[in-house]
Each structure stands twice: as C-alpha cells, then as structure tokens.
Amino acid sequence: MQTENTTSGTLLPLATEPRNPGIALDMRWVHSAQANTSAIERRAATLPGRRSVKKAHQAAWLLRAISCIDLTTLSGDDTAGRVQRLCAKARQPVREDLLAELGMQGLTTGAVCVYHDMIAPAVRALDGSGIPVAAVSTGFPAGLSPFHLRVAEIGESVAAGAREIDIVISRRHVLTGDWQSLHDEMRTFRDACGDAHIKAILATGELGTLRNVARASLVCMMAGADFIKTSTGKESVNATLPVSLVMIRAIRDFYQRTGYRVGYKPAGGISKAKDALVYLSLMKEELGDRWLRPDLFRFGASSLLGDIERQLEHYVIGAYSAGYRHPLG
C-alpha cells in the first residue's frame, strides 16, 4: 500500500480513492475540449520562475518527489540482476545516514516499472515491501502489434504479478479523430487489467496538437483510465510543461463532472531535482494537495532519483558529492 509523509517523519497508509469506472463516450464533451496554445505556453513559461522553495521546505518537497517516482528500467539489455539492484534502490532510495539526518523513516519509491520479462525478478525482489511492480504493455512503445496480442500481453503481465499496467494507445485514432475506436480500445485494455491499475500512455509528442492531447486525455478517462501518462520516454519529445498543463486541466474537468480522481504521470526527460519541484508546484496549483500523493501522481524516471539524492546530501552537509556516491543499482 502506498504511504503518506507526515510532519513527524514517519509514514502512514493512504486513504484509498474510489477507482474510476469510466463512462460512456460523450462526443459533445470531447468536441468541446479546446486548447489555446499561446496562452498555455505563456502560462507554462512562467512556472519555473514563479515558485521557489528553499532549505527545509525544499528537502521536504524532494522527499515527496521520491515517493512519487516510478523507478524505471526499459532497456533491451535488462537483466534480472539489474532489476534486483533497481528494486533494492526502490526499497532504500536515499542513503540511511541522510534519511536519519532528515528524520525520515519508511521512504520508498512509488513503484518499479519494467518490461514483462522482468516482472518475476522484480516481484521477488520487492516481496514484503508494498512497492508495486508496473509493467509496460500493449506492444510498448509503438503499440502496433496485433490487437489480440496486446490484450493478451496485459493478461500475462497481471498473471505474472504486475499491479500496474502502462499501456500505449493507438495514436492513429487520435490523429484521425476516431474517438469511438480509442474509447473501445481503452475500455478493452481496462477490462483486461482486472484489479491492476491502468496508466494510459498518450505519446503526446506524436499527437500533433494540444487540442488532440486534451481530447485524448478525456476519452481515455471516459474509458476508465486510472492514470493518464505523457510519454513512453522513447519519443523525440516527451513530457513538457504545456502538455502537462493541458492534461491536468482535463483531469480537473473530469473530476468536477464525475467525482472520480484520475492520476497523472509525466515521463521522459525529467532528470533534475529542480524539474521535479516545478511539476510538483504545478500539480499543487492546478489540482491541489490531494494530487501530490503517489496514488495520484508519479514521475516516470530513473536518473531523477540520483539528482534528488545529491540535492538532499547538499542540504544535510552543505556540499555536493560526486554522482557515483548515489548509485541507482
């Protein structure tokens, strides 16, 4: 079960949210979704300079960021040993001496994200930790394998022990405006997941316009997505602040109309602690504190954790250490 930081430095169980069951496709709502690109880009451009947290407040925000990381390895040369080391890092994301100085106990990452073949070693390595294994699925990253195989892949990953499934949508449905097909596809994937939570990867860098991003976000939530996610991390353009603004406002609209909270996961290109702070501040301003918890917000990242740990050590000892002092595995 995911946990929540308290001011005492201990962690308590989170209250669980009712899962988004999805609704019928509402084409009037979809077509009403628009995106003022120039206004969105102006708003996004102000974000890095508008909010600054320092010292103890910054350390607290960075600890929160760690709890929201999906620690990820998605390489063709992944091995069971690499995954086991990554899982050890997920269990102990920051050196014990630094956590002791910060008065923090029980900190873990939000999840470990792997390919299907690496689920079994990840499940074994995380046994007893409460950290879920997330698996990328449905022909990740292109999503162009035969449809029945994509659905079967979800079932295989759930059976292997994945508690979260990151699926990729068919971008052609968005680019051609075939919203019914996107809804049907997403609904089939959602049903195949069963009790496992599903994150819909929009691959926003390939959707053409911010309006398409807004409409695809809504359709995936209508079909029952538990999270909407920016990118596979394999596209030429991954998570950006304008895209994030569009997606989280779609989440807010969906919550206001249906009462169901859907999570958000920016992925790809977020590697610096200062970037994590910007995304956290954006979530707080647009959606509120409830979306600053790992059941509703995740970073899809790997190298981000190393930079956060360096920043935390700087806060504790007043100097930066070499990166090799904070290995990921």
The catalytic site residues sit at: 166, 229, 265
* Cα→Cα distances 81→26, 42, 123, 199, 310, Å: 47, 45, 13, 26, 25
| Residue 9 falls in which region: left (phi positive, over 0), alpha (psi -120 to 50) or beta | left
Cα–Cα distance measured from residue 161 to residue 157, given in angstroms and rounded to the nearest whole number: 7
Q: Which tokens is 246 given? A: 């569009």
What b-and-e string marks burial along 218-248, b requiring 16 or more CB atoms within 10 Å of the CB? bbbbbbbbbbbbbbbbebeebbbbbbbbbbb
**How many residues are present in the chain?**
329
- The answer to whether the CB of 101 falls within 8 A of the CB of 117 is no
The structure tokens listed for 298 are 């995740």
Identify how many contiguous H helices and E strands the chain contains and give both numbers: 13, 10
Can you tell me whether residue 242 is helix, strand or coil?
A: helix
CB neighbours of 64 closer than 8 A, spacing ≥ 6? Answer: 5, 280, 292
List the beta bridge partners of residue 73.
Answer: none
* Residues 200 and 220 sit within 8 Å (Cβ to Cβ): yes
